[in-house]
Amino acid sequence: MINPRILWCALAVTTLVVPVPSASAQEPAATQSDSLLAELRALRARLDSLEHVVAELRAEHRDTTEAVDELAALREAAAAAAAEADTTAEAEAPSQAGGLLNRLNPEISVTGDVRGSLVRPGPQTDVFEVREFEFSFQAALDPYASTKVFIAWEDGAVDLEEGYVYWSGLPGGIGVDLGRLRQQLGKTNRVHLHALPQSEYPLVTRTYFGEEGLIGDGARLYWMAPFAGLGGATHELWGEFTVGGNDVLFEGGDRLSFLGHLNNFWELGRSSFFEFGLTGLWGENPDEDLDSRVFGADLRYTWRPPGRELYRSFTVRGEVYGARKRRAGEGDTRHGWFLGAEYQFGRGWYTGARFDYVERLEGPSGLHDWAIVPYLTWYQSEWVHLRGEWQHHSSPGPDGPRETSDRFLIQVVWAVGPHKHESY
C-alpha cells in the first residue's frame, strides 16, 4: 500500500504541472517571460522538496515507486517550462532587433522657408515666395563613419545642396569629409540659407560666389591642434580639395581648386568667447584663361551671461575678402566686407542689423554696392520662427547717380524632425 505521504506529494506535483490557461498568452512578451521564469523557479523548488521526501522514504526502506514516477514527471514539467521560457526569449529577439534597426534609420527632417515682401520702387510682383523646402538625412553608418544629405526643392527644381560621408577621430585627431560640401569659407557660407541670422547671405558672398554661396565636390580634411596657443587659444585647420566649378569665380571650370582655413578660438571668461579666422582659396579655368584667388578674414564675438543665456546674448560677426579674377594675366583685386550685430532681449526675441559693402568683381574699378539690413526675429518655438526685415540697397546707376531700393519682408521658417543645421 502506498504511503499517504507519497500520495500527498503526487497530488501537489499534479496540481503544479497543470498548465495555466490563456490569460498569459495575451500578455506582452516581457510580462509572459517573467511569468514563465517565476513558474520555473516554483517547479524547481517543489522538485527539491519531492527529492527530499523520496530520500526519506528510501531511508525508511519504503516503496518509492509511485513517488519516483511522480518525481520524473515533475522533472519533465520543469524541463518543458524551461524550454518555453527560452522560446519566449527567442520570440522577443525580433522585437529587440527591430528596435536596433530603428536606431540605425537616418534622422529625417524637412524645413520650409516662405517669404512675403513689398518693394520700392514698384511694381509689386512675386509678393509671396515659397523659397525652399529642404529635406535632410543624417545617420551614423557604422562606428567609424557618418553621413549627411541635404536635398533642396527651390524654384521648381530639386537639387543636392550637400551630401557627404565623414570620418572623425582618425589617428592624429584628423577628420575627413567626402562628397558635396558647403565650403569652409569664413563662418556664414557653411550655414544653410534658412538658418542664417538674416534671410539672405551677405552681399559679398553673393557677389563673389553666387546666390547659394560656395559649394564644391571633393574632399575636406580637418584637424584640431592638440595644444593651446597664445592666451589659451584653440586652433582648427581645414584643407579642401574640390572641383572649381563655381559659376561666378571659376565660370564653371572643371579643374582642381584648393581652400585652406585656419580658425582660432579664445574663451574670454564664463560669459564670452572670441573667434578669428583666415581663409585662402585658389583655382583656375584654363579653357577661359582664368586664374582666381580669394583671401579673407572673419571674426565673431559672443556674450552670454551664465544662468541667463536663454534670455540675453549679444553677438558681433564680420568677414572681409579680397578677390581677384585674372584673365590672360589681367585683373586687379576687389574688396568686400560685412559687419553685423545681434542682441537677444528676451526668450526667443532677437534684433540686429548688418552692413554690407562690396566692389564688383569685374568691370571698371570703383564700382561698388552697399546695403543695410535691420531685422527682428521671434522664435515661436524650436520648430518655428518668424522674421521681419528691411533691406535698403544702393548700387551704381548706368548714368552716374546711384540708385536705391527698399524691400520689406516677412519670413516664416518651420521644421519637422531634428533639423540639425550646419551652423558654425
What is the dihedral sign for C-alpha 94, 99, 103, 107?
positive
Return d(Cα 311, Cα 344) in angstroms, integer.
Answer: 7
Q: Encode pLDDT of 234-285 as tens digits.
A: 999 999 999 999 999 999 889 999 999 999 999 999 999 999 999 999 999 9
Q: How far apart, in Å, are the Cα atoms of 123 and each of 15, 36, 99, 219, 409?
A: 92, 78, 57, 45, 15
Joined grid coordinates for residue 10: 503526487
Question: What confidence category does residue 411 fall into, taking pLDDT thresholds of 50, 70 and 90?
Answer: very high
Average pLDDT score over the chain: 83
State residue 369's pLDDT score. 95
For cell 575678402, the residue is: 321
Find the mean pLDDT for residues 347-369.
93
Q: Which residue has the higher pLDDT, 391 or 121?
A: 391
Question: Nearest-CA neighbor of 321 among 244, 424, 214, 208?
Answer: 208
Surface-to-core class of residue 115, CB atoms within 10 Å of its CB (0-12 exposed, 13-18 middle, 19+ buried): buried
Tell me if residue 201 falls in helix, strand or coil. coil
Is 71's pLDDT higher than 70? no
Is 26's pLDDT higher than 80? no
- Of 29-33, 38-42, 194-198, 314-318, least confident by mean pLDDT is 29-33
Find the mean pLDDT for residues 12-40.
47
Contact 87, 103 (CB under 8 A): no
Cβ neighbours around 272 below 10 Å, total: 15
Is 424's pLDDT higher than 70? no
Return d(Cα 242, Cα 189) in angstroms, integer.
Answer: 16
State residue 155's pLDDT score. 84
Surface-to-core class of residue 73, CB atoms within 10 Å of its CB (0-12 exposed, 13-18 middle, 19+ buried): middle
Angle at 248 (CA atoms; ends 245, 252), nearest 5 degrees: 30
Bridge partner residues of 213 (DSSP): none
User: Could you tell me how many residues make up the chain?
Assistant: 424
Find the mean pLDDT for residues 12-20.
41
The single-letter DSSP state of residue 330 is: B
- Of 64-73, 286-295, 325-334, least confident by mean pLDDT is 64-73
The model carries a pTM of 0.73
Q: Which residue has the higher pLDDT, 118 or 94?
A: 118
Is 106's pLDDT higher than 80? yes
For cell 584637424, the residue is: 223
Joined grid coordinates for residue 396: 551704381
Bridge partner residues of 218 (DSSP): 179, 242
Q: Encode pLDDT of 150-204 as tens digits.
A: 999 988 899 999 999 999 888 888 999 999 999 999 989 999 999 999 999 999 9
Question: What confidence category does residue 126 fall into, taking pLDDT thresholds of 50, 70 and 90?
Answer: confident
State residue 34's pLDDT score. 58
Find the mean pLDDT for residues 378-398.
94
The single-letter DSSP state of residue 85 is: H
Return d(Cα 253, Cα 246) in angstroms, integer.
Answer: 7
